[in-house]
Amino acid sequence: MNPLFLLAWFRDRLSNDDPERGDVPGWVMITLMTAGLVLIIWAIAETQLGALFQTAIDRVLGRE
């Protein structure tokens, strides 16, 4: 395969002219913020969430 063809293909793929590409940095920020919120909530309520989960599993399995 021609190296110039590959360079042109990569240049076209990485150009920002395509309106269908979307806002990747925005999605990254939303994902990181969501993960951060989950970690904060989990750190604050770990004991309560574990008990809630165990109660739900026990009810599903008929142990209670």
- Residue 28: predicted pLDDT: 87
pLDDT confidence of 3, banded at 50, 70, 90?
confident
For 29-43, the pLDDT digits (tens) are 899 999 999 999 999
In a 3-state reduction of DSSP, which class is residue 15? coil
Stated pTM of the model: 0.48
**pLDDT tens-digit series, residues 10-29:** 777 776 666 666 666 778 88
Cα–Cα dist 8/14, whole Å: 10
What is the largest distance, in Å, between two alpha-carbon atoms of the chain?
69
